[in-house]
Structure 1
Amino acid sequence: MPEPAKATLLPLPAVDRAQQVIAALADYIQLSGLKPGDRLPAERELMAALAVGRSTVREVISHFQALGVVEARKGSGTYLLRAISGATIHMPLALDTGHLRDALLQTLEVRRGIEIEAGMVAARRRTEADLANIEAKLEEMERAHLAQGTSGPEDLAFHLAIYDATHNPLFRQLLEQMREAFERFWEKPFDRPDFARRSFPFHRTLFNAIAARDPDAAREETLKILAIVEEDIREMSK
């Protein structure tokens, strides 16, 4: 009886490396029959096998950690927490790519529910360390906004810090699963870098509500941000 083929990791072409490594590593985990508790290949091994840099490998491991499927143990390595495959590591989202306005409004409906709840939970559960992290991300966002008039990556980092302050990993996991589809539409809607610029001041008031441990105020400030976003979508798509 022939032996089953062994799973291998092969070098990848230089196109969207992080996404390719995510898919390649998920397939490798499945084909290798790794089970929860098993150790993943070491960082250097992944770098050599896939012909990618350390930063790409670390980005992918961080992505898997955010999804709650692996755990990095200091001085020991990275371990699988739950079985995954190329089919399960991504959540495919079906959006109409031909109608930007409708796609933005649909994703906004999902964001509204998640972000309102995340802000309220963060206001109740945040620690002083969480608050310092949120404020640091807010200050980075404010610097970028004042220098460039826009702050896309910094805005995302601010909201991720709020998600982390909930101490509920499902908030970040949901965003990680949906991020690819979201970013495809939200990177620069209508080719307008000033999109939703009017919402900028309310990020500071949202932080203040979380600092004051006031869930109701956090909800109201989040609603103000998202109301401006919706107004801009409808105005710019006329």
Structure 2
Amino acid sequence: MSDQFKVMTKAMLTPLPSIDRTQQVIDALSDFIESSRLQAGDRLPTERELMVALSVGRSTIREVVTHFQALGVVETRKGSGTYLLKPVSKATIHMPLSLDTAHLRDALLQTLEVRRGIECEAGMVAAKRRTRKDIAIIEEKLDEMERVHMAKGTSGPEDLAFHLAVYDATHNPLFKQLLEQMRGSFERFWTHPFDRQDFARRSFPFHRTLFNAIIAQDPEAARAETLKILDVVEEDIKEMSK
């Protein structure tokens, strides 16, 4: 560990209590970046330095770095380290979104309105810009989603991975950054709302037709298939919340 980093971490980074590690590391690292006045192009402390300074494991540090990468504020260069792409603070790196409702039904319907706007546009843009590599990745995620669905009758993380691959195919990092900021709200759709394993199961075939529309570079078809998925989600929210 460098002498300069030892001096800075002694004043700014201290071991954390063992609760909500990931969010605490996000807050601690963003505070460190702001307090140290790091600028775009500056290298962040190494994994080992962060692990020692914050008393957390490697997996937590990597999860936080992945979170920062998804937000487009850092990049990792192989063999060199992780570098800041833009100055950040705790206020800019983590902007939690909340809904003023105590009812899951209302929260899901309100979030669904936002999903319609973002996911329809993402599907259309992906259809226009997708590359052969994008197609291969989306198909890989779709195949895994279908495999799990056929085995268990449902899917969760695999469904999310498919939609993330579509976002990546837009080649517009803002789509993924928006999802990262709204992850808490969006993930409600992939955690079996109302304790129903069959939630939105009827939307399963439309993921394949959405993929076909993206292959065909047909934005309008991609939009239509995305709407079919989300229409099923809306119907299930209303039916299962009765």
TM-score normalised by structure 1 residue count: 0.93
1:104 and 1:186 in contact (8 A); partners too: no
Residue from 106, 110, 113 that aligns with 2:114: 110
State how far apart, in whole Å, the 1-side matches of 2:153 and 2:24 are.
33
Structure 1 match to 2:198 = 194
Q: How many residue pairs are counted as aligned between the two chains?
A: 235
Question: Identity of paired residues, percent?
Answer: 77
Residue from 224, 229, 238 that aligns with 1:220: 224
TM-superposed CA distance for 1:196, in Å, is 0.5
2:30 and 2:90 in contact (8 A); partners too: yes
The 1:18/1:134 distance shift into structure 2, 3 A limit, reads same
State how far apart, in whole Å, the 2-side matches of 1:199 and 1:18 are.
32
**155-164 or 45-54, which deviates more:** 45-54
State how far apart, in whole Å, the 2-side matches of 1:119 and 1:26 are.
32
Question: 5 Å matches for 1:50-89?
Answer: 50-89=54-93
Question: Which structure 2 residue ranges, 5 or more long, are not aligned?
Answer: 1-7
1:202 maps to a residue whose letter is F
State how far apart, in whole Å, the 1-side matches of 2:111 and 2:31 are.
29
Residue from 167, 173, 181 that aligns with 1:163: 167
1:209 maps to a residue whose letter is A
3-state SS, counterpart of residue 71 of structure 1: strand
Residue from 2, 10, 24 that aligns with 2:14: 10
State how far apart, in whole Å, the 1-side matches of 2:52 and 2:71 are.
25
Residue from 123, 127, 130 that aligns with 1:126: 130
The 1:30/1:7 distance shift into structure 2, 3 A limit, reads farther
2:50 and 2:61 in contact (8 A); partners too: yes
3-state SS, counterpart of residue 79 of structure 1: strand
State how far apart, in whole Å, the 2-side matches of 1:16 and 1:212 are.
44
Residue from 133, 140, 148 that aligns with 2:144: 140
1:55 maps to a residue whose letter is S
1:144 and 1:150 in contact (8 A); partners too: yes
1:47 and 1:54 in contact (8 A); partners too: yes
1:26 and 1:86 in contact (8 A); partners too: yes
Question: Which structure 1 residue ranges, 5 or more long, are not aligned?
Answer: none
